[in-house]
Amino acid sequence: MTAKNLLVELCVEELPPKALKKLGESFATTLSESLKAQGLAAADSVATPFASPRRLAVHVGQVAERAADKPVSQKLMPVSVGLGADGQATPALLKKLAAMGLDASVVPQLKRAADGKAEALFFDTVVLGVTLADGLQKALEEALARLPIPKVMTYQLADGWSTVNFVRPAHGLVALHGADVVPVSVLGLKAGRDTQGHRFEASCHPVSIREADSYAAQMEAEGAVIPGFDQRRAEIVAQLHAAAEKLGGGVKPIQDDALLDEVTALVERPNVLLCQFEPEFLAVPQECLILTMKANQKYFPLLDAAGRLTNQFLIVSNIRPADPSAVIGGNERVVRPRLADAKFFFDQDRKRPLASRVEKLDHVVYHNKLGSQGARVRRLMKLAAAIARELGADEALARRAAQLAKADLVTDMVGEFPELQGIMGRYYALHDGEDARVAEAIADHYKPRFAGDGLAADNIGLSVALAERLDALVGIFGIGLIPTGDKDPFALRRAALGVLRMLMEKTLPLDLMGLLETARAGFDPEQLAASVVVDVFRFMQDRLRVYLREQGGVADQVEAVVAQAPTRIDRVPLRLEAVAQFRRLPEAEALAAANKRIQNILRKAEQACEGIAPAPDVALLAEAAERDLFQAMEQVAPQVEAAVEGLDYTGALRQLATLKAAVDRFFDEVMVMAEEPLVRTNRLALLARLGGLMNCVADISQLSGQTSGQSGEPAGTR
């Protein structure tokens, strides 16, 4: 079969910019995978996606005109059912053949082959390979059906009667196999070779694509369009940096991948131009100006070498006029009212102290079951002060920061730009003469805002940040709104991760269970479920597992630490490192398996209601192996306990490794479940003491590759 490169393009009206990249990738991937599944394209065939504001396209390498024929062996039924004792076809077989469009004449051609323990009849045939026209029609329909369309439009075709549902009205379809048009149709369009170029700057209308391989070059040369999303994005980046370099002085455009992707999806022929605004606007906090330029106008603010905003910015135009002054002037006129609004909000907000706005929070609903933001602020004040006390920080400052932390929610600036909450609170607090540490804590209490974000700078900010998240976790969990699947409307997973990161990365000497209890005490006892503290703690354990694995932790080592339900999260990294070091010791595997065995024995004894003495009685240690184990434990225990007390977890586990010989001998020579009750309960007490000692740092049984019963004898017999 002749193989040629294939091009498919759907020309549409302007696609939603925030969805364009995913739409282009989905269209290309689904169409090419469908062709491969039908045998029209090789498994290693390369699919190149194209996506611009007015088109979705894909170039697929080495596509056949027709897929190869496939031999197929179809199982009919067991021989005993299909053939009688005389070897003739039974009515059941004849009925099956008739359903397939066959008759009794094919019975001699049927193949007999083993099918499990029985023998079955098979009909061998050849399925003709699909043609490109049919295969592409199917692939195209699948690609459109699977597009991640944010919102579907309904529109009528040119006949005035037919209705079509799609993300945007479609106006053209190109399908070329080499230079030949493939006769497919979709959305009321029949494939051809003509497409539309740039609305204003294409050198010809329409652009007639000669062959699949000339698409990108023709679109750029004749259509004035860079069709590839990544190529267009790279062109914008190059132009942005070139324009900034011309200014000198280390000036750089702001880095924002989301903005860059959105702008790439808005233009087909990018042209970066330099604009400016009046310097007096720089008196407004730069976060406000940057946000309004990015969010409302899709501009790229320019920062100087020190990271300060300049009064110049870059725009990405979709046209390249010989004289760009009109484009530049128009954009400068457009941005000026936006900046003036920001300046007005900033000036108006500063006329009232931030503290005077706190009472207005009583009229802002936090949650209908948890009360107002004002009530929440009062809880945060108590909780932040309690945390600050444990950290040795200034309680009064923590309480003041918590009191003012949400006050900027009722300012004009944050009302217009919710993304600035905390940031504006810091500026207004400084303007009011509040302590600088309070002002920083107002901004920092939202950190971390996202994965990889920084944490609050000092213990005042950390106290408020912890209080904010703990209050949310306990409150939202307590009214039954627990995250399920991928649904987490209150961002509780992010809140939990923020708490864990602060405790761990800042090595805060705080007990997580104690923090949750303190947070719970701030609510009315009738508001929340009785189990809320335990529920939140378990939820945070799961987040801890995920976080440690994402940070490179080995699964079984992470489980060994987290299985102990540690409440001092600041010590988790030390425990994890100690387990990693222990895992490398030659004694590790045997001790981990022994620990698992001990836990199995103790669990079965508990299930059987066996008594376990509070401590092993030396007088009842009858056999040498158990006496030796007891003596070895007594020698090692003080050293292990001292090491744990000194946070030398690695040293503690190394000391435990010295017990291997005594443990091995015990299990080889001693019957734990002895017939004599006193001896049995005493040996169980010995194992309980050993298990507690072995698990003082982590549950090392999690490191064993064995499972219960793999040792060759029932668990707990010896």
Distances in whole angstroms, Cα of residue 477 to Cα of each of 372, 380, 466, 566, 668: 17, 17, 16, 21, 50
pLDDT in tens, 540-566: 999 999 999 999 999 999 999 999 999
pLDDT in tens, 75-110: 889 988 889 888 889 999 899 989 888 888 888 888
Give 692's pLDDT tier (boundaries 50, 70, 90).
Answer: confident
Which string of DSSP letters, residue by residue, matches 578-644?
HHHHHHTSTTHHHHHHHHHHHHHHHHHHHHTT----SS--GGG--SHHHHHHHHHHHHHHHHHHHHH
Compute φ and ψ for 286, nearest 5 degrees.
-65, -25
Q: Are 350 and 434 in contact (CB under 8 A)?
A: no
Q: Are 202 and 222 in contact (CB under 8 A)?
A: yes
Which string of DSSP letters, residue by residue, matches 502-561?
HHHHTT----HHHHHHHHHHTS-TTTS-TTHHHHHHHHHHHHHHHHHHHTT--HHHHHHH
What is residue 150's DSSP assignment?
S
What is d(CA 631, CA 633) in angstroms, rounded to the nearest whole number?
Answer: 5
Q: Are 478 and 459 in contact (CB under 8 A)?
A: no
Of 69-73, 102-106, 353-357, 676-680, where does the model show the most confidence? 353-357
User: Which H helix or E strand runs over 302?
Assistant: strand 300-303
**CATH for 354-552, options being 1.10.10, 1.10.357, 1.20.120, 1.10.3210:** 1.10.3210
Instruction: Select the more confidently predicted residue: 476 or 109.
Output: 476
Question: Tokens for 474?
Answer: 């306990």
| Residue 9: closest CA among 155, 148, 206, 234 | 206
Give 407's pLDDT tier (boundaries 50, 70, 90).
Answer: very high
**CB neighbour list of residue 117: distance below 8 Å, 6 or more residues apart:** none
What is d(CA 579, CA 557) in angstroms, rounded to the nearest whole number?
Answer: 6
> What share of the chain in percent tops pLDDT 70?
97
Quick one: pLDDT at residue 56?
97
Query: Bridge partners of 8?
Result: 58, 175
Quick one: pLDDT at residue 704?
63
| Residue 51: closest CA among 145, 137, 148, 158 | 148
What is residue 227's DSSP assignment?
-
Query: Bridge partners of 79?
Result: none
Give 593's pLDDT tier (boundaries 50, 70, 90).
Answer: confident
Instruction: Select the more confidently predicted residue: 405 or 615.
Output: 405
Give 706's pLDDT tier (boundaries 50, 70, 90).
Answer: very low
Angle between helices 257-264 and 20-37 in degrees, nearest 10: 70
**CB neighbour list of residue 374: distance below 8 Å, 6 or more residues apart:** 358, 359, 361, 362, 363, 364
Least confident interval from 27-36, 135-144, 342-351, 478-487: 478-487
Which string of DSSP letters, residue by residue, matches 152-188?
-EEEE-TTSS-EEEESS-EEEEEEEETTEEP--EETT
User: What does the pLDDT average to over 33-55?
Assistant: 95
Quick one: pLDDT at residue 716?
37
Quick one: pLDDT at residue 715?
34
pLDDT in tens, 608-641: 676 676 788 888 888 898 888 889 888 888 998 8
Least confident interval from 34-43, 209-218, 689-698: 689-698
Question: Tokens for 224?
Answer: 């004035």
Give 712's pLDDT tier (boundaries 50, 70, 90).
Answer: very low
Query: Bridge partners of 487?
Result: 484
- Residue type for 377, please? V
Q: Is the pLDDT of residue 710 over 50?
A: no
pLDDT in tens, 307-329: 999 999 999 999 999 999 999 99
Which string of DSSP letters, residue by residue, matches 57-84?
EEEEEEEESBPPPEEEEEEEEEHHHHB-
Quick one: pLDDT at residue 606?
76
User: Which H helix or E strand runs over 681?
Assistant: helix 677-694
Torsion of CA 575, 580, 585, 590, to 10 degrees: 80
Q: Are 48 and 12 in contact (CB under 8 A)?
A: no
User: What does the pLDDT average to over 113-128?
Assistant: 86
- Counting Cα atoms < 13 Å in the Cβ hemisphere of 365 gives 3
pLDDT in tens, 176-196: 999 999 999 999 999 999 999
Report H helices in 226-372.
229-247, 257-264, 286-297, 325-349
Token pair 């990693």: residue: 580
Q: Could you tell me the pTM of the whole model?
A: 0.80
| Residue 539: closest CA among 575, 488, 579, 578 | 488
CB atoms within 10 A of CB 711: 17
Q: Is the pLDDT of residue 711 over 60?
A: no
User: What does the pLDDT average to over 509-526?
Assistant: 95
What is d(CA 89, CA 355) in angstroms, rounded to the nearest whole number?
Answer: 94
User: What does the pLDDT average to over 18-22?
Assistant: 94
Q: Is the pLDDT of residue 708 over 60?
A: no
Q: Is the pLDDT of residue 132 over 70?
A: yes
CB atoms within 10 A of CB 551: 11
**CB neighbour list of residue 573: distance below 8 Å, 6 or more residues apart:** 504
Quick one: pLDDT at residue 613?
63
User: Which H helix or E strand runs over 651?
Assistant: helix 649-657
User: What does the pLDDT average to over 351-368?
Assistant: 95
Quick one: pLDDT at residue 468?
97
> What share of the chain in percent tops pLDDT 90?
68
What is d(CA 146, CA 138) in angstroms, rounded to the nearest whole number?
Answer: 12
Task: For CA atoms 73, 79, 81, 85, give the dihedral sign.
Answer: positive
What is d(CA 640, CA 626) in angstroms, rounded to the nearest whole number?
Answer: 20
| Residue 651: closest CA among 578, 716, 566 | 578
Fold that domain 572-703 belongs to in CATH: Isoleucyl-tRNA Synthetase; Domain 1 (1.10.730)
| Residue 149: closest CA among 8, 27, 298 | 27
What is d(CA 714, CA 718) in angstroms, rounded to the nearest whole number?
Answer: 9
